[in-house]
Structure formats: C-alpha cells, structure tokens
Structure 1
C-alpha cells in the first residue's frame, strides 16, 4: 500500500544508529529473535542472552551518519518506490498523526534506524534482534534488512506488511503510555496466557487500529485505500511470525511469548475491522 501525496517527510523524531558486526537474522534463529525481543520489553539486557556487542565507535558513527543522511532525504515518493528506510519514516509520520486522534495524552516515541548493532536504554542489541521497542528510552528500533528476512520466513513483501511491523512496535509505545506493558510484565514472559503473549497480541490489534484510520482525511501523510490484497499480506506476515510457525512441529504453548499464527492474525483483524483501541483489551479475556 502506498501513501498519498508527495514531498518531504518529517524526520524530527527519526535518527540513524548502529554499525558493524550485527549481521542479518538467520532463518534458524527465529526463536532467538522472539526471546530477545521479549527480553527488551521485560527489562532484560539482550546482550546477556545473545552476547551482543556494540561494534566499534568509528563504525557505529559512520553508519549512523550515513543513515541520518538517508533519513534526511526521505520523501513520500521514495517511500512509495520501495525505499525501506523512507517507508519506515513515512509510517512513523502516519502513526504520529493517527494516534493523537485516538488517545488523549499521546506523545510520540523516538525511532532509530540502525544497521549491525546499536546501544539502547535496554542494553546492546544487534540486527539479529529484529525490530523492537525499548520502554526505557521510549524508542522503536528498526534494521531495514529485517524486511528481507521476514519474506524468507514466509511473510509478505507488500508495503502494508512492512508498515504493519512498524505499527506493531508503535503499539508497544502506546502500551507503555497506558501502563499495559507494566501489567504484562507482572503476568510472566512465557505461556499461552502469559503477559508477554497478551502484550504482543494487543500490539498486533493496535497495529490494526492504525491501519483502519491511516487513510482518513485530515492527515498530512495517509495511506491510499486499502485492498483485500493489502490485508491478506499482513495476515500472511502475522502468521509467519506466530510462535507455532517459528517453533515448528511439536511447538509447546508453554514456551510461547507472542501467540500463535491464528491468534496474531485474528487480533490484527480485530483492530482493523473495528478501528477501536478498546476492542484490543487482551488482558480482559482468556479467549486469546
């Protein structure tokens, strides 16, 4: 799905970071990816799990500078032409316009686009972590190479599927503002009804809420009308990153952290079809 309009994007809350040593996510590393993202949300330094480093200062600075220059050049046209960095920026612009209309007291997060490795308020992380949100510094982190890996994992390469990834991480920021993250932390990090699963499914639902509203009039950056194919791409992607899909045959729900393929698809659909954040209360039901 492409964005309407043309011209430069607002890059005030987006910056570059990282450099060297991270590498792309290995297909066999899906479980590690999930565990590490949960570690970030639940206040654990991912470097303690993954052994992640930060790379050299010189390479980090050089990479961050190059990404900053790329970000500064972003336009709606570049986002629509498939530039992954600019698509991330355009999606953050849309999210930061939609959420204030849905939530009193919304304040935008920061976004860091990185390559290789990056320092965060939650500790050091690498590209192997995948996209993540750090509540300690209220920042969403993205390595654009993840979109290629996502396709290898069975996800869609469609624009809306990539935008869904960004919207999901912003969903975690909304949860940080509402207190849902803290509530999830009190309910455990593994299991079919754990706090982690509830947090992740709610973030999927909140991404759906954004998609419902993102084409509305009055927003400077808004999506063109969504098609059934766009939504099908998101559903395909949500299913590709379900716990049971990644863990494969014999998946044990007691080890789940994000929810099953069907659950992730269903909660995105709940948010998209209703467009109401109140319908995303995964803490009020055991029918996940």
Structure 2
C-alpha cells in the first residue's frame, strides 16, 4: 500500500526528537532484539534489561524538544521518506478514528532520532515502537524497520510499517475508551489480558488499513492506494515476525506461559479479521482462550 502522490498530508502534527546515535558494535544482537521486541514493542521501556548493549552518545546530547515535519507535504513525500510515511499515517489514523470514537482525542506521534525522554522512560534505538499512556504519545524510531529486516529477515516494507504504527494507535484507542482500565494487565500467558490487549490492537490496525482507501483529504484525494497482495503479505509477515513464539524460538525455546503479545498465528489472524471484517470483530476479551 502506497500513498496517493497527490494526497495532502501537510497538516500533520508529527514531530521529531532526539539526536542520531548508534548501537555500540554496529547493531542490536539477537539477544538484544528479543528484549527489544518482547518487552518494549507496543509496550514499555525495558532498556535496563539490555545488559551489555550500549548506546553511543555520538558526541551529542539527548534532546526533548521536537521539530515539526514541515517537509512532509504530500503522499509523494510519504512514499519517498519513512519519516514522512509516519507523518502521513498520523494524518490518516486521526481521520479514521475521529469517525469511529466519539470525542476522539489524538495521541502525539514522535519520530525518535537516537533517543529522547518520555513519561514512560527513554525512547531510543534500543526500544521498539511503543505507546505511552502517561503522556498519550506514540514513539517510533524508524531504524526498527531496518532491524526487522537485518535480524529477522522481515520484509518490513510500506504496509508493514503502517501496520505497526496502526497497532500503536490501537493502544491509544484502548486507553481513551477505557479498555485498558477494564482489562488491566494480569500477567503473562496465552490467555492473559496482555495478549488479548495486543491482539485487539492488531485487529484495530487491520480494520484501519481495510478501510483506509475510503479516506480522503480536503480536496477529495484518497490518501492511500488499494494494497496489492504482495503488500498485504508484507503486513502479515510483520505480524508473524513479532509473534511471541517466533521471537522465543530465535533463542531456542517457546513458552506460552510467558507470552505477552500472542503467537505469530494469532497476530496474523486478528490483523486479518480486522482487515476483512472491520472493528466489530475486534473484541478479543469476549472470546475463549481457544478462539484467540
């Protein structure tokens, strides 16, 4: 799925913060990536668990002040530049959820360049995309997509990237609609609220992408073009890669009792359900564990 080159995304509210830094040794190793994905992806900051992995300071300082994405004006910009793609996604996500949630209040989207402070801890290139309920912010370091490719062989192309940011928006919807309050984290396990929360966010992302070609800018231009089969496979590949079982198997084990996000099969299932059937199928809390 690519943006319509003529779509207007100039009204995006996305900002960019931090200063570019690098992982010591040239990249995140497999163990680091497991922590990187299992804990912080779509969740919390776990940089304290990263052990020997360090972030080089690059001679710079951490920055908490943001700069606007004023260079991201059109769908063509979004197709050429990953930062602009995230900014464009913000525009379309807000448009979609404004129509679905009464009194919708949008989250803040921050593109992380190196590292920056959040109310949930440090967002950095050691931490995957996550939503912080305390400041209602979504934080994404686009280098995450490169790591998915390099370490896990994921395609991580345009639609996969939109799926991931759409998933984070799903957590914001859960926050503002009371889902997080009604179904608090009750630990880990294949039938846990944590897994159900993550699978619902996958379903929300699928529902958004399944409806997104009907959304238009103020000039009537569709924001996004109809996805191809290859692009849908790209999104499903991302859902597979971030499954708990697949991640754990990279270290030679799989323990459903420790699951926090759901298996690869479940994540693909709930994304597909949202994409094909819409938001009405996304109540992961009302189904039995065997139907997750």
Report the RMSD for the aligned CA atoms in angstroms.
2.6
Partner of 2:274: 271
Partner of 1:18: 18
Normalised by the length of structure 1, the TM-score is 0.87
Question: In the TM superposition, what whole-angstrom CA distance separates every residue of 1:90-118 from its partner, at most 9, and x where no partner exists?
Answer: 11111011111122222111011112222
Aligned length: 278
Summarize the Cα distance change of 1:57–1:10 in structure 2 as closer, same or farther, 3 Å threshold.
farther
Structure 2 SS opposite 1:185: coil
Partner of 1:159: 158
Question: In the TM superposition, what whole-angstrom CA distance separates every residue of 1:211-230 from its partner, at most 9, and x where no partner exists?
Answer: 01110054456210122221
Structure 2 SS opposite 1:211: helix
Structure 2 SS opposite 1:60: coil
Task: List runs of 5+ in structure 1 lacking aligned partners.
Answer: none
Q: Give the helix-richer structure, 1 or 2.
A: 1
Answer yes or no: is the 8 Å Cα contact 1:191–1:253 preserved in 2.
yes
Aligned runs of 1:29-48 on 2, under 5 Å?
29-37=32-40, 40-41=43-44, 46-48=46-48
Does the alignment pair 1:4 with 2:4? yes
Summarize the Cα distance change of 1:117–1:22 in structure 2 as closer, same or farther, 3 Å threshold.
farther
Aligned runs of 1:47-66 on 2, under 5 Å?
47-50=47-50, 59-61=61-63
Partner of 1:96: 94
Aligned runs of 1:73-92 on 2, under 5 Å?
73-75=71-73, 76-81=75-80, 83-92=81-90
Partner of 2:186: 187
Question: In the TM superposition, what whole-angstrom CA distance separates every residue of 1:68-108 from its partner, at most 9, and x where no partner exists?
Answer: 36x21113212112x11011111111101111112222211
Partner of 2:247: 246
Task: List runs of 5+ in structure 2 lacking aligned partners.
Answer: none
Answer yes or no: is the 8 Å Cα contact 2:138–2:169 preserved in 1.
yes
Answer yes or no: is the 8 Å Cα contact 1:197–1:258 preserved in 2.
yes
Answer yes or no: is the 8 Å Cα contact 1:54–1:118 preserved in 2.
no
Answer yes or no: is the 8 Å Cα contact 1:11–1:89 preserved in 2.
no
Structure 1 SS opposite 2:109: strand
